[in-house]
Amino acid sequence: MTEITSRRGLLFGAAAVSAGALLTGCTSNEPSDSKDEPAANDQPAADDKPGKQVTIGFAGPQADHGWLNAINDNAKKRAEKYSDVTLEITEGSNDTAQQIGQIETLINKKVDVLVVLPADGKALTQVGLKAMRAGIPVVNLDRIFNTPQAYRCWIGGDNYGMGLNAGHYIGEKLKGKSNARVIELAGLDNLELTKQRTQGFDDALKNYPNIKKVARQAAEFTVESGQAKMAQLLQAQSKFDALWNHDDDQGVGALRAIEQAGRDDFLMVGGAGALSAFQAIKQDDGVLKATVLYPPTMAASAIDLARALGQGKGIGGMAEFEIPASITLYSAVVDKTNVDQYMPTGFR
């Protein structure tokens, strides 16, 4: 599994795993030797070598928190890496009308490929459709459009998977402990993604009959709300064994509340993958022992996908002639054992 540690392998985690499986399948099939290779082995895969010039239009929401800021950084840095990519990046906006206007401008400029992280996926579906009809393929980043007709490829994180992996991690850590009590500090409750994370977490915990989720409060992804809600949770639950916090930004506040209450009798798992969380995990002197990723590197991958689209190629590590229609990223659990590897991807 050395591919996983390589950069490309890291970015296309899921893709690399399936490619690995495919390759293993090929090699174990003794009779077929190099003479009649599968056609796919000649497929033009996008690699680091310069190819046809591609102009990529990038439209995202206003980078008003660390994760979105990291999304912009990842996209820019990735585009700079390629001499054959020109990135047209718009001023981020949370206003639907404004973002529609920005994307229409990019369509009129006739960029080759669009990468769109909509402020609101449903509200921007129409403009995605418009771009596709104008012959500009759209890579839909993370917040999904209403219909697959509005994008050529969707790539994004796995909120359900975050909850699932957090739940399993906690479940394994508390194995053998009878009547274990777990609490959840959720994110903004009026977002669907929060419901999905909670659903995943609950589903994972069902595998561990010794664990009971005793409390859940929703913060607002901000440090301030994280501190406030965590302080209340700590007061409400005088004893519990583990805590899952949906978001590392609000986790800064949650950790502050934990410190203020002088509690250290439980294990905490975070979410998203902020630098401060990675550092705390590495130091290993507090309650925070792990965090579940929602990797902002997906923006770099989206640039790769857009470039491959523009050059009419597939992606390395996959047998197909073209890029996939949909890629769901894996929500890896980062703990002390692998934190060094992820440290450079941590966002502030």
Partner 1 sequence: MTQPVSPPRDSSTDKVPQAQPPAWRGLMARADVRTLSLLGVLAVLILIGGITKPDEFLDTRNLQLVLTQASVIGVVTVGMTFVIVSGGIDLSVGAIVALASVWATTVATQEYGFAGILFTAVVVGVGCGLVNGVLIAYGAMVPFIATLAMLASARGLALQITDGKTQIVTVPSVLDLGERDAYVLGIPPLVLVFAVVTVIGWLVLNRTTFGRRTVAVGGNPEAARLAGIDVRRQRLYLYLLSGLCCGIAAFLLIVLSGSGQNTNGNLYELDAIAAAIIGGTLLTGGRGTITGSVLGVLIFTTITNIFALNNLQSDVQQIAKGAIIVAAVLVQRRTASTT
- Helix or strand or coil: residue 12? coil
235 binds partner 1 (CB under 8 A): yes
91 binds partner 1 (CB under 8 A): no
Q: Is the CB of residue 277 less than 8 Å from the CB of residue 333?
A: no
- Helix or strand or coil: residue 246? coil
Least distance in angstroms from the C-beta of 60 to partner 1 = 12
Total residues contacting partner 1 by CB under 8 A comes to 40
Please give the structure tokens belonging to residue 265: 């009798």
Residue with tokens 């990291």: 70
Q: Which is nearer to partner 1, 66 or 273 (CB)?
A: 66
End-to-end CA distance of the chain: 30
- Helix or strand or coil: residue 140? strand
Least distance in angstroms from the C-beta of 189 to partner 1 = 5
Of 8-16, 19-27, 137-145, 209-217, which part binds partner 1 (CB under 8 A)? 209-217
120 binds partner 1 (CB under 8 A): no
> How crowded is residue 167: how many other Cβ atoms within 10 Å of its Cβ?
28
Q: Which is nearer to partner 1, 51 or 273 (CB)?
A: 273
Q: How far apart are CA 310 and CA 326, in angstroms?
A: 17
Q: Which is nearer to partner 1, 47 or 95 (CB)?
A: 95
Please give the structure tokens belonging to residue 173: 């850590």
User: Rg of the Cα trace of the chain?
Assistant: 22
Q: Which pairing describes strands 113-116 and 85-89: parallel, antiparallel, or unpaired? A: unpaired
Q: Concatenated DSSP letters for 265-299?
A: SSEEEEEE-BHHHHHHHHHT-SSEEEEEE--TTHH
Please give the structure tokens belonging to residue 324: 């996939």
In the list 22, 89, 123, 215, the residue contacting partner 1 (rule: CB under 8 A) is: 215
Beta bridge partners of 245: 185
In the list 18, 55, 62, 338, the residue contacting partner 1 (rule: CB under 8 A) is: 62
264 binds partner 1 (CB under 8 A): no
In the list 115, 218, 242, 268, the residue contacting partner 1 (rule: CB under 8 A) is: 218
**Interacting positions 274-303 with partner 1 (CB under 8 A):** 274, 276
Residue with tokens 């209403």: 146
189 binds partner 1 (CB under 8 A): yes
Of 42-50, 151-159, 254-262, 305-313, which part binds partner 1 (CB under 8 A)? 254-262
232 binds partner 1 (CB under 8 A): yes
263 binds partner 1 (CB under 8 A): no
Least distance in angstroms from the C-beta of 64 to partner 1 = 5
In the list 82, 221, 294, 342, the residue contacting partner 1 (rule: CB under 8 A) is: 221
Q: Which is nearer to partner 1, 125 or 225 (CB)?
A: 225
Q: How far apart are CA 196 and CA 204, in angstroms?
A: 12
The 21-60 contact track toward partner 1, x by CB under 8 A, reads ----------------------------------------
Q: Which pairing describes strands 333-335 and 288-293: parallel, antiparallel, or unpaired? A: antiparallel
Amino acid identity at 346: G
In the list 142, 249, 304, 335, the residue contacting partner 1 (rule: CB under 8 A) is: 249
**Phi and psi angles of residue 338, each rounded to the nearest 5 degrees, phi first:** -130, 15
Please give the structure tokens belonging to residue 220: 């607002």
Chain residues in the site for partner 1 (CB under 8 A): 62-66, 68-69, 189, 214-218, 220-229, 231-233, 235-236, 238, 249, 252-253, 256, 259-262, 274, 276, 348
